[in-house]
Chains A and B, each alone.
Chain A
Amino acid sequence: MKVYKYDKSRKIMERASKVIPCGVYGHLGPAEGCMIPVDAFPTFASKAEGAYFWDVDGNKYLDFMCAYGPNVLGYNDPDVDAAALEQLKNMNCVTLPGEKMVELAELLTDLTKKDWAFFAKNGGDITLYSIMIARFYTGKKKIIFVNGYYHGVAPWSQTPDSAGTIEDDCKNSLYVDFNDIEGLKKVIEENKNDIAAFISTPYMHGNFKHNEVPQEGYWQEVRKLCTENNIVLIVDDIRCGFRLDLKGSDHYYGFEADLICFCKAIANGYNISALCGKDFLKSAAGSIMYTGSYWMSAVPFAAAIATINKLKANNACEKFKKLGTMLCDGLVEMAKKKGVNLVASGEPALFYLMITDDDSLNLHQQWIAECVKRGLWLTNHHNHFINLAMIEEDIKKAIEIAAEAMDVMIKNNPEVYKK
């Protein structure tokens, strides 16, 4: 297989680093994105189509990161783009919102069995809003987080040792482990009548560790404890939303959240996030002044409606699970034959991979680097995503590239993989 080079990416990165902090900041950048080693990865894309994107050097990638989630139907989906373009011809960001906003709210509330929907732009907009609602409604201040969580980058969701965060930002934060009901009971008991919300992703899809699905009865017990203690139960479904269940991941795991946050898979890359909630919190939500310049732009609403309808029409979640399972089983089996312990964890639609033959993850990083250099876009320490544009041929191709990449990694580590 051809091994890629990234000359143009490097040149653009040189320009970028002069005028943009980190060159490319955040999770799409080499540092936060754990592109290890940096020279094995390109940094800029030029076009995308379906399950693939191309970098500025013309290299093509089968992309299992899906823009870190938003690409749920496939890049440049013709139906979504047509709906967006049609809306754009009429209006986008205007002095008043368009009817599409109401249409989308009706669609989302009907789908998720919630009573209202509120729209913003990014996941962090609505996780923060959900916390504000919980505090206003309960009159309490503390928030329970699950260790290994990620709910955005605002100071309230960080730990005090993070750059740009101060201790006061985190003084009302409490922490428990996922699947630890006894730990949760203890925290509630120790902070009786002071806890406004419990916020968690539907399963633990944190980084650098095997992802953990809920144990039998876990969420039902969490629901019960929250109800008994007047704690608002917030599900951060930004990553999993519409990939496990179009009715929301709370429905998937058999419980009901009070507030549920959606973002990544709503509009196939058009910028929108949504908070859906139960009726008893609607008045609290309405009492809080919370808005943004672009939050009622019409184009993303039109794109979201088209996306959700297409996901429904194509039985998307079932397909995500099927293809994800096929890929994970294929990769693990392929690795096993080569004597490599590769673990796939979490839900197949958002699979997480880790080679466990060393405690430094160096072997895993070497394997991922070789995959990327051959056109299979996996990432080192983050869960991956399946989209609707992927077909079984793509899965076979992914396993083929991953196998060659693994051979290179094995060859480079003879002390670990003795014949």
Chain B
Amino acid sequence: MSTRTQAFVNFYAAMGTLYAYSKLDEKARELAAKQDISLRFKVKGGPDGVLVFEGGQIKAIPYQKGVKTDIVLYCSDVNKFNDLVDGKGQSVIPLKGFTKLGFLLNKESAFNKLTEDMATLMRKKEFDNKDEMRLSTLLAFYAMVSAIAQIGNEDDLGKVSAKKIPEGLISIEIPDQCYLTIKVTKEPQTKLEVIDERCPNPRSKMVFDSLETAKGVIDGKLDAMSCIATGKIAMSGFIPMLQFLNNILNLVPKYLS
């Protein structure tokens, strides 16, 4: 397990799941809509990404020249960023947006409320109703698939598996609930990217039969191979893509707990 990979997972899969939260939950969307703001996390030796709040939607994107940023936070190493995400410290240096730092520092800010609510929901084991269970599962599902991409791109072992995944689109589905696509490209090097859309013609497909199965796999109560054997997960298409993706999936609990 590498702290660098952890930082990428923390930004794109943990913070990145705010995207799904703001998309799936009306209250989250209302909260996110309170302020349009862009936070850049510039982590030395780790991710350089921007968390964008715009019109009630949130997205985590890589920083590129020209991307608008209201606040820029610099972390001198990946551990400091990981501590920040874990709530263990705030050893970050603001480089821009001093007047807007309340968005981060104020406990009642939309950012803190959203991250706290989302984390609570994702950690929940017992639910008040079906909708809450559905939301929790879909958030965890999004985080899991996002983490697969980051681990395949950054972790040493993950990269071994990712390198063996042939080029193409992999669809990961919970029918009528969620459709995510992992795009595998090979040039200039192997890269996995999560796309939030249904792929009509994927090269391979992994279909969970229910939210319960997805939750079981995410919680580690079910393993993917047993689910495939019993038909709870259906795989089809170019199977090596899924075999090696499954190897990366095995690494996810190390980074997302």
Given A208-B238, A360-B204, verify A30-B228 contact (CB < 8 Å).
yes
Question: CB-nearest residue of chain B relative to A39?
Answer: B231
| Pairwise interchain contact B225-A31, C-beta atoms closer than 8 A | yes
A381–B238 CA distance with the chains assembled, in angstroms: 10
A361 to B164, CA, bound (A): 17
Q: What would be 20 A-B contacts, judged by CB atoms less than 8 Å apart?
A: A17-B226, A21-B223, A24-B229, A25-B225, A30-B228, A30-B229, A30-B231, A36-B236, A36-B239, A37-B231, A39-B231, A159-B160, A161-B158, A161-B244, A208-B238, A208-B239, A359-B168, A359-B238, A360-B202, A380-B239
CB of B237 closer than 8 Å to a CB of A: yes
Residue of B161, B230, B237 near A17 (CB, 8 A) is: B230
B225: A residues at CB distance < 8 A: 21-22, 25, 31-32
The answer to whether A38 touches B239, judged by C-beta atoms less than 8 angstroms apart, is no
A213 within 8 A of B: no
Chain B nearest Cβ from A21, distance in angstroms: 6
**A161 with B160: CB separation less than 8 A:** yes
Interface residues of B, count at CB 8 A: 27
B247 in the interface (beta carbon within 8 A): yes
The answer to whether B239 touches A361 (Cβ under 8 A) is: yes
Known: A22-B229, A31-B228, A359-B168. A365 touches B236 (CB 8 A): yes
Of the residues B229, B248, B250, contact of A38 by C-beta under 8 Å: B229
Residues of A within 8 A of B168 (CB): 359-360
Do A163 and B226 touch (CB < 8 A)? no
A23 to B225, CA, bound (A): 10
In the complex, whether B234 has a CB less than 8 A from a CB of chain A is: yes
Scoring A25, A31, A39, A380 by chain B CB atoms within 10 A of each residue's CB, the highest score goes to A31
Q: Say yes or no: A362-B237 contact (C-beta < 8 A), given A160-B160, A161-B247, A162-B247.
A: yes
Cβ-based interface call for A29 (8 A): yes
Residues of chain B within 8 A (CB-CB) of A23 are 226, 229-230
Q: Are B229 and A17 in contact (CB under 8 A)?
A: yes
Interface of A is mostly: loop
B231–chain A nearest beta-carbon distance, Å? 4
**Closest chain B residue, CB of each to CB of A162:** B247
Q: How far is the CB of B241 from chain A (nearest CB, A)?
A: 9
Which residues on the B side are within 8 Å of A177 (C-beta)?
none
Closest 7 CB pairs of A and B: A31-B228, A360-B237, A161-B161, A161-B160, A22-B229, A38-B231, A30-B229
Closest to B156 in A: A167
Q: How far is the CB of B245 from chain A (nearest CB, A)?
A: 11
Q: Please, which residues of chain B bring their CB within 8 A of the CB of A34?
A: 239
* Inter-chain contact A163/B250, CB cutoff 8 Å: yes
A362–B168 Cα distance when bound, in Å, is 14
Q: Which residues of B contact A (CB under 8 A)?
A: 157-158, 160-161, 164, 168, 202-204, 223, 225-226, 228-231, 234-240, 244, 247-248, 250
Q: How far is the CA of A19 from the CA of B30 in the complex (A)?
A: 47
Q: Which residues of A contact B203 (CB under 8 A)?
A: 359-360
- Do A22 and B247 touch (CB < 8 A)? no
A56 at the interface (CB under 8 A from B): no
The B-contacting residues of A in range 206-242, CB under 8 angstroms, are 208
- The range of chain A's interface size is 20 to 34
The yes or no answer to A13 lying at the interface (CB within 8 A) is yes
Bound form: Cα–Cα A365–B239 in Å: 10
Q: Is the CB of A208 within 8 A of B240?
A: yes
Within 8 A of B (CB), among A336-392: 359-362, 365, 380-381
Residues of A within 8 A of B202 (CB): 360
B164 CB → nearest A CB, Å: 8
- Say yes or no: B238 contacts A163, CB within 8 Å: no
A22-B226 contact given A167-B157, A359-B168, CB 8 Å threshold: yes
Q: When the two chains form their complex, are residues A163 and B240 in contact, meaning their CB atoms are under 8 A apart?
A: no
Do A36 and B226 touch across chains, with their CB atoms under 8 A apart? no
Chain A residue with minimal CB distance to B244?
A: A161
> How far apart sit A25 and B226, CA to CA, in the bound complex (Å)?
8
Complex Cα distance, B238 from A1, in Å, reads 29
> Which residues of chain A come closer than 8 Å to B228, judged between CB atoms?
30-31, 38
State in angstroms the CA–CA spacing of A162 and B239 once bound together.
15
User: Knowing A34-B239, A359-B203 touch, does A161 contact B229 (C-beta < 8 A)?
Assistant: no
CB of A165 to closest CB in B, whole Å? 10
Chain A residue, CB-CB nearest to B202: A360
Q: Nearest Cβ in chain A — how far from B134, in angstroms?
A: 25
Q: How far is the CB of B167 from chain A (nearest CB, A)?
A: 9
Question: Bound complex: CA of A230 vs CA of B230, how far in Å?
Answer: 49
CB distance from A85 to the nearest CB of B (A): 35
Please give, as numbers and ranges, the residues of chain A lying within 8 Å of B157 by CB-CB distance. 160-161, 167
Contacts of A30 in B (CB 8 A): 228-231
